[in-house]
Amino acid sequence: MKKRTLGFWEIWNMSFGFLGIQFGFALQGGFMSRIFQTLGAEKDAIPLLWIAAPLTGLLVQPIIGYLSDRTWHPKLGRRRPYFLIGAILSSLALFFVPHSPALWMAAGFLWILDASINISMEPFRALVADKLPKSQRSYGFVVQTLIIGIGTWVASNLPWMVSKLGVSNSADSGVVPMSVKVAFAIGAFVFLVSILYTIFTTSEYPPEDMEEFKREKARKNQFIPDILNNIGSMPLTMKKLGLIQFFSWFAFFTMWSLANPALTEHVFKTPAPVKSEYNMDIPAQVEAFNVVNTAFQESSNAVGSAMGVYGLSSMAFALILTFYTSKRRINRKYVHMGSLMLGGLGFLLMNYTSPENLKWCFALIGFAWGSILSMPYAMLSSSVDPKKMGVIMGIFNMFIVIPQIIAALGGINFVSGLLGKEAINAMTVAGISLVIAGLCNLLITNKNAITYQAEDI
């Protein structure tokens, strides 16, 4: 099927739902560790509490990709039914997670939230490949990244913004501050509305041969054999990209799970108070605890705001590439390699920065984030069978979740422990991991993956 070239606003509309998805991910990534610490989690236990995120991705994304490849609804099309289901579930989970009264409940809500976000997210990746001709793939994924950057910056600053409007940033021991609760409620609303916008403004191409599609759908369910077959026949380029993804996502999982304890302790000098060190029956001790806890909550807001800068710089990165890729081809391999190297430098500089300059570290990280969200998918979508785009994108995300599972099960604590006991060592590990990911781009040799090749060549 020859696909028509789409205009900017058509690509914007079909990608707009990612604004809500990124609100969910940014609130989860920026503030779940803070919620865990507020509810009494020890620093070394935080990565394990995060294991819900990669495990649900490992299970959900290949299943949703496979099902969406075999779905056709006369009104909602192929991918949009999954957008809607995921949006409803994610919005509910986002609203309730900061109201968790206990640590186990917050961890449980993280499972539900991440599974729900994945239901929406995976089909969005496939939609770009479904709708756009190969000549516009880089452009399409970069526009998605632009919207993701906007969502990251706004969502990361939400608790700070609402606290400036007078919403309390203090709370009793074991209670999440109201500023965080309001921020998550806003995120839930934005998630649902942005997904609905894409559903109502975007159409999808029907299967080329509807009769053949129906026969394939009626065939005895071969889900597990098909998944295993696709894994076994994975193209070489996909395997090489998987290696890059492994080190990239190990780094970002480290940031999401440990940036708050590392930076509040090392950069702001306001670590989370340990309740067992205070006698809560003595009023003076309670007051001392509250003073330290308020300082921790304030610096956590500051860390969240600084993290939001990586959304801004990824947005700037995407904006530049949006203008460039609308008219010209790019070398995806070298763009991705350079961006990951800059991100690695940003993590390494956190050892030496001040609270005022922390934002510049995250600005460098934003270039890596912007590239991670676009270049690997542009390279992959130009190297695989378009009829299997959904399941391939789902399988490809295994290279995202496996390093996160390894990190959560002790990988971060083990590797950073080799450098010492300080929490900031986790950020050093993240930096080294991104540099390795950048160098792995030298393995990519497929010309179609590296840059768009005109079909008559």
In the structure encoding, which two tokens stand for residue 272, read together? 């989370």
Distances (CA, A) of 383 to 44, 151, 331, 340, 386: 40, 29, 15, 22, 9
The fraction of the chain above a pLDDT of 90, given in percent, is 24
User: How far is Cα 202 from Cα 132, in angstroms, rounded to an integer?
Assistant: 13
CA-based Rg of the chain, rounded to a whole angstrom?
22
Q: How many CA atoms lie less than 13 Å away from 452 in the CB half-sphere?
A: 18
What integer pLDDT is reported at residue 75 of this predicted model? Answer: 82
Percent of the chain with pLDDT over 70: 91
DSSP at 407: I
What CA–CA distances, in Å, run from 173 to 33, 101, 244? 16, 11, 42
Crossing angle between the packed helical segments 137-164 and 283-325, to the nearest 10 degrees: 150
Alpha helices in 16-169 (DSSP H): 17-38, 46-49, 52-69, 80-96, 103-131, 137-164
Q: Is the pLDDT confidence value at 147 over 90?
A: no
Give the integer Cα–Cα distance in Å for 310 and 454: 34
Give the pLDDT confidence score for residue 427 in this predicted structure. 95
Cross-strand partners of 77: 73
Instruction: State the pLDDT at residue 348.
Output: 97
Which pLDDT does position 95 carry in this prediction?
Answer: 93
CB proximity list for 390: less than 8 A, separation 6 or greater:
64, 65, 66, 67, 68, 69, 78, 79, 122, 123, 126
Q: Which of 67-81, 194-208, 314-328 has the highest mean pLDDT?
A: 194-208
Given this model, what pLDDT does residue 184 score? 93
Report which of 126, 140, 131, 137 is spatially closest to residue 67, judged by C-alpha positions: 126
80 alpha carbon, distance to own chain's centre: 20
Question: How many Cβ atoms sit within 10 Å of the Cβ of residue 281?
Answer: 7
Residue in the structure block whose two tokens are 């919207």: 147
Give the predicted TM-score (pTM) of the model. 0.72
pLDDT digits (tens, 9 = 90+) for 255-298: 988 898 999 999 999 888 877 788 878 888 888 888 888 888 88
pLDDT given at position 131: 81
50 CA to centre of own chain: 13
**pLDDT the model gives residue 390:** 63
Confidence of residue 374 (pLDDT cuts 50, 70, 90): confident
Compute the mean pLDDT over every residue in the chain, rounded to the nearest whole number: 83
Condensed to tens digits (0 to 9), the pLDDT of residues 50-65 reads: 887 777 777 777 777 7
Model confidence over 77-114: pLDDT tens digits? 778 888 889 889 999 999 999 999 888 888 888 888 88
Q: Is the pLDDT of residue 7 over 90?
A: no
pLDDT digits over 193-210, tens only? 999 999 999 888 777 767
Phi and psi (nearest 5°) for 204?
-130, 150
Confidence bin at 428 (pLDDT 50/70/90): very high
What DSSP string describes 343-394?
HHHHHHHTTT--TTTHHHHHHHHHHHHHHHTTHHHHHHHTSS-GGGHHHHHH
DSSP structure class, residue 411? I
- Between 120-129, 193-202, 271-280, 410-419, the lowest mean confidence (pLDDT) is in 120-129
Q: Which of 207-211, 235-239, 299-303, 429-433 has the lowest mean pLDDT?
A: 207-211
Answer yes or no: is pLDDT of 167 > 80.
yes
The secondary element (H helix, E strand) that includes residue 196 is helix 178-201
Would you give the DSSP letter of residue 208?
S
Residue 73, strand partner residues: 77
pLDDT category at 456 given cuts 50, 70, 90 is: very low
DSSP letters, 267-284, are: TS--PPP-GGGS-TTSHH
